[in-house]
Amino acid sequence: MGLDVLKKIKKPIFYVTNDPSRGVGLESIVSNYHVVCLDDHPLVELMQKRGVSVFCLEKEMGRKNLMFRSSAEILGHPQVLSFIKEKSKGQIPNIIFFKPQKKLEIIAQKNNFKLIGNSSLLNKVFEDKINFHKIASRENLPILPAEIDFLRNLDFNTCLGKFGLPFVIQFGFGWAGNSTFFISDEKHFSEIQKKFGRIKVKVNRFIKGITVLNNALVLPEEILQSPPAVQIESNPFLTSMPGGTGGRQWPAGLPDDQRYQIKQITEHVGELMRKSGYLGYFGLDFLIDGQSNDVFLSENNARLTASASFYTLLELKNGQIPLLAYHLIVFLDQNLLKNFNPKEKTSKVSGSEIVGRNIFSNPIKIAQSLPAGVYDKYMRYKRESYFLDGVKKGEFWLNAAGEGRIVNPEIEMFKINTLEKVCDSKGELSDCFANTVKKVRSKIKIKNA
């Protein structure tokens, strides 16, 4: 049966998102599937050419940059509500979302929408770095020893004695490294303490090594997971945050023992989540010590991950049932699970996604963008393409923020998708793709917002 089973899902499904590219993956295999996005981007027309049902709020409003970038704000807009109710034809609409939000839940409840995902309360239990550290400690999972307290209560010399320099301070929640600080001296510590003293933080030693992620999924009776991917190291042309990431690459190129450890840890965490009532997609981050090769559990992204859409495209190229499809099934129709063979639920995928963010400290406006499509390494535009369709060796698919878009600091400015390796096993970007990133930045014209 394979992917054809998914065509049995006839319920109306709406992926609500800022960026239309985040909603791709299942549109070709689920019949009643719609993307509701905020951004008026040329990608919208490209998707519509492929027959994808896309509702773009900014396009309908005729203006850009008017709204706070939030799934709840999008879902609650009158024009979006009207579109969803029209397309649902009297059925209960099913809403896919990226990050759980209480406001999203209130809007869904008010309009009798079903959310395809876990509650914001359950998300917080596992995604809050401080709370998750406590859970992992209780379960004797391999984590870095840490000090947890309000930042105002911490003493530099005490942290220095425990963790050495540099040491790491993390908030419970953050995005793209914006809540992670690498403390190298007392002056830096004092500045952070003065600014964020009332926030509870986690402090631990700094590890020089690599960061690895894997996508996973909680089913009622088992845990599915992807092979590990290596995160592309922070690079000044990709992110301004030392704790940020520049994307991800499959496979990670890890030795068998490290892959096994990651698999066992993920299974353990997934079972904990299942016992708490959690179902569906999640992702774990791991740190691997560059000297000892020890594997440490770092974070739990208890929701759809930033890589979920791209990973879904890689799974589909392999003819696999995507984890994202199981995420749908587990919330919509668990009876469909009996159609699948457990041995076919994971795949050996190969591909890379480079993410370039606004590296400036102020918002910028895109004065001149680049068309979405396939390019070669010389940055020559080759052809219009639907994501990875037809991408050959030496080519990549580029999606850049559209003209007129205001991009805040550390928000995505462009993405490069390729089936090739872009970094080494430590996550360091190759010279070839580092040059490609520089060329992309040089061709996108920006000005202060």
Count of CB atoms situated within 10 Å of the CB of 121? 10
pLDDT band, very low/low/confident/very high, at 346 (cuts 50, 70, 90): low
CATH number at residue 195: 3.30.1490
* Predicted local confidence at residue 348, as pLDDT: 79
* Predicted local confidence at residue 173, as pLDDT: 79
135 found inside a domain: no
pLDDT band, very low/low/confident/very high, at 175 (cuts 50, 70, 90): low
What percent of the chain is predicted at pLDDT more than 90? 84
Q: Are residues 36 and 183 in the same domain?
A: no
45 found inside a domain: yes
CA angle 350-21-439, nearest 5°? 70
Q: Give the total number of structural domains in the chain.
A: 3
133 found inside a domain: no
How many CA atoms are closer than 13 Å to the CA of 415, on its beta-carbon side?
Answer: 21
**Which of 397, 352, 360, 396 is closest to 239 using CA atoms?**
360
The reported pTM is 0.94
**Is the pLDDT at 270 greater than 90, yes or no?**
yes
Q: Are residues 172 and 216 in the same domain?
A: no
Query: Which residue type, as a one-letter code, is found at position 96?
Result: I
Tens-digit pLDDT profile for residues 87-110 = 999 999 999 999 999 999 999 999
Q: How far are the Cα atoms of 65, 174, 364 from residue 409, in angstroms, in the given order?
A: 15, 14, 8
Q: Which residues pair with 355 in a beta bridge?
A: 415
Average confidence score pLDDT of the chain: 93
pLDDT band, very low/low/confident/very high, at 248 (cuts 50, 70, 90): very high
Tens-digit pLDDT profile for residues 2-48 = 778 788 888 999 999 999 999 999 998 998 999 999 999 989 999 99
Q: Are residues 243 and 348 in the same domain?
A: yes
- Rounded distance between C-alpha atoms, residue 264 and residue 157, angstroms: 37
* Predicted local confidence at residue 356, as pLDDT: 96
Q: Are residues 293 and 400 in the same domain?
A: yes
125 found inside a domain: no
Q: Which of 46-60, 177-191, 199-213, 434-448 has the lowest mean pLDDT?
A: 177-191
**Is the pLDDT at 252 greater than 70, yes or no?**
yes
**Is the pLDDT at 178 greater than 80, yes or no?**
no
**Residue 429 structural domain:** 209-448
Q: Are residues 67 and 159 in the same domain?
A: no
* Predicted local confidence at residue 233, as pLDDT: 92
Tens-digit pLDDT profile for residues 191-227 = 999 999 999 999 999 999 999 999 999 999 999 999 9
Q: Are residues 101 and 173 in the same domain?
A: no
* Predicted local confidence at residue 345, as pLDDT: 59
pLDDT band, very low/low/confident/very high, at 324 (cuts 50, 70, 90): very high
321 found inside a domain: yes
CATH number at residue 320: 3.30.470.20
Q: Are residues 337 and 412 in the same domain?
A: yes
123 found inside a domain: no
Q: Are residues 187 and 162 in the same domain?
A: yes
Question: What is the four-CA torsion angle of 143, 148, 152, 158, rounded to 10 degrees?
Answer: -70
**Is the pLDDT at 340 greater than 80, yes or no?**
no
- Rounded distance between C-alpha atoms, residue 182 and residue 358, angstroms: 20
Give the mean pLDDT of 121-147.
96
Q: Are residues 354 and 416 in the same domain?
A: yes
Domain boundary among 74, 99, 116: 116
